[in-house]
Amino acid sequence: MKLSTLVTQTLCLLMLIGPSISAQADSFDSSTGVLKLNLVTVGSNKYTVELHLEDDGKLKILSAVPAVYTKSIFSIYDSNSGRLSTAIIDFDGTKYRGIFELDSSGNYFTLLNARAGTDTDGDGLFDDDEGEVDTDGDGLANYLDSDSDGDGIEDYIEGDRDSDFDGLIDSLDTDSDGDGILDASEGILDNDNDGIANYIDLDSDGDGVKDVDDHDWNGDGKSDDLDTDGDGISDREDFDDDNDGIQDSRDFDIDGDGIIDGSDADSDRIPDALEGIVDSDLDGILDYLDDDDDGDGVLDLLDRDSDGDGFSDSRDSDSDGVVDDLDYDDDNDGIYDSDDDDIDGDGNIDNPDSDGDGVRDSKDSNDD
**What DSSP string runs through 205-257?**
T-SSS-GGG-TTTT-SSS-TTS-TT-SSS-TTT-SSTT-SSS-GGG-SSTT-S
Spatial neighbors of 313 by CB under 8 A, at least 6 apart, are: 303, 304, 305, 306, 307, 323, 324, 325
Statement: residue 10 has pLDDT above 60: no
Query: Chain centroid to CA 231: how far?
Result: 31
210-213 contacts at long range (C-beta below 8 A, 24 or more positions apart): 210/179, 211/177, 211/179, 211/180, 211/181, 211/186, 212/179, 212/180, 212/181
- pLDDT at residue 238, rounded to an integer: 78
Q: Tens of pLDDT along 318-350?
A: 776 665 655 657 777 767 666 777 777 778 787
Report whether 277 contacts 70 (CB < 8 A).
yes
Mean pLDDT to the nearest integer, 120-144: 89
Confidence band (pLDDT; 50, 70, 90) for 132? very high
**Coil, strand or helix: which one is 177?**
coil
Percent of the chain with pLDDT over 90: 13
CA–CA dist 12, 30 (Å, integer): 30
Q: Which amino acid does the sequence have at 188? A: I
Distances (CA, A) of 25 to 11, 247, 362: 22, 31, 13
Residue 298 amino acid letter = V
Tell me the pLDDT of the chain averaged across its residues: 75
pLDDT at residue 124 in the model: 81
* Domain map (residue ranges) of the chain: 3-116, 178-263
Find the mean pLDDT for residues 43-60: 86
Contacts of 12 (CB under 8 A, 6+ apart): none
pLDDT band at 101, cuts 50/70/90? very high
d(CA 71, CA 22): 11
The DSSP symbol for 67 reads: B
Q: Averaging pLDDT over each range in 158-172, 247-261, 269-283, which range is the top one?
A: 158-172
What pLDDT is attached to residue 178? 92
Residue 11 CB neighbours (<10 A):
14
Rounded average pLDDT over 79-107: 85
* Least confident segment among 96-105, 153-162, 250-259: 250-259
